[in-house]
Structure 1
Amino acid sequence: MATTDEARLPERVRELASPLADDLDVELVDVEVKGSGTRRLVRLVADAEGGLDVDVIAALSRRVGSALDERDLIPSSYTLEVTSPGVDRPLRRPRDFARNVGREVRLVREQDAPGDREVTGTVVVADDSSVTLEVDGDEVVVPLADIDHGKVVLPW
């Protein structure tokens, strides 16, 4: 069983990395800390308006790596990976859906949400409270509170 410090490690890495990402106009989408001992992986998933380029990823990696080492937040050796969200990454937050306006997505609603459990359509609008999909020529508004997650439907 993980100790409290171990369980809080992703949150602590996020607290450290978020301002560094903000300085680069980068959104920190997700933080994962996996493994233990010398096989520890710290993965930062980041995104930016217009996407990320290699220089921004490298700059964020250097800044976060230096800050992690300076504060000795990870008690052993680790591998730091900075990446952009993949197309198969779950969509959960308003910004996730807004980034995918014009793309076809499949939404999975919470168990107790009204309507079909799954709905597939093209994202027309996404705001802080709902996602509007075009489904068979009709617009379907799904409250974010009803969505468990969504995924981009790949064209192949």
Structure 2
Amino acid sequence: MGKNVTTVTEEMVQPILEQMDLELVDIEFKKEGKNWFLRVFVDKEGGVDIEECGRVSEQLSEKLDETDPVEFPYFLEVSSPGAERPLKKKEDFRRHVGHRVYIKLYEPMEGEKEIEGDLTSFENDTATVEMKIKTRTKTFEIPYEKIAKARLAVSFN
């Protein structure tokens, strides 16, 4: 098979999501223990409910059965990314300005490889994050291409 499972899944799920006015957040295809899981994370303004996830799962499952991109058994899960939603695209950063974020960098910046704080802006492909260190606040200007991983963070204050 030429394309990988996540690419094929993305092509199949996109029209379903557009019809339902949902957004694709992420697709994972990974082995946990003895089982393989194909996980599709969807969202919309205000969050998705269990019925919407069920409808996506049903329709996607039919399409996957038709084309059968995976030659072995796996579990399909469709869910919401939850409170710690990953930030993948530049648009995700723009949309979540004002939220608390966790960012892991490819290489340290000012001695920090992991930065958690408030995303105050995302302009010119640069995320500005204010991180509290004890009593002071430190501002990081992080170029998008230096971000290895990012997600929303839950703050307990």
Deviation at 1:77, TM superposition (A): 4.1
Instruction: Write 1 or 2 for the structure with the bigger share of strand.
Output: 2
1:51 aligns with 2:47: yes
Q: Distance in 2 between matches of 1:50 and 1:127?
A: 25
- Aligned residue number for residue 146 of structure 1: 146
TM superposition score normalised by structure 1: 0.74
Q: Distance in 2 between matches of 1:35 and 1:106?
A: 25
**Any idea what SS the aligned residue of 1:110 has?**
strand
Gaps of 5+ in 1: none
1:75 aligns with 2:40: no
**Any idea what SS the aligned residue of 2:97 has?**
coil
TM superposition score normalised by structure 2: 0.74
* % identical equivalent positions: 28
Gaps of 5+ in 2: none
Equivalent of residue 99 in structure 2, options 97, 103, 117: 103
**Any idea what SS the aligned residue of 1:69 has?**
helix
**Any idea what SS the aligned residue of 1:51 has?**
coil
**Given that residues 43 and 80 in structure 1 are in contact (C-alpha distance below 8 angstroms), is that contact kept between their aligned partners in structure 2?**
yes
| Cα-Cα RMSD | 3.0
**Any idea what SS the aligned residue of 2:64 has?**
helix
Q: Deviations over 1:89-119 (max 9, x none)?
A: 54332233344333222322222x6544333
Q: Distance in 2 between matches of 1:66 and 1:128?
A: 41
Q: Distance in 2 between matches of 1:15 and 1:58?
A: 19
Q: How does 1:4-153 map to 2 (within 5 A)?
A: 5=1, 8-35=4-31, 39-111=35-107, 114-117=109-112, 118-127=114-123, 129-135=125-131, 136=136, 140-153=140-153
Letter in 2 for 1:8: N
Letter in 2 for 1:31: I
In the alignment of these two chains, the number of paired residues is 150
Deviation at 1:13, TM superposition (A): 1.6
Deviation at 1:45, TM superposition (A): 1.1
Letter in 1 for 2:145: A
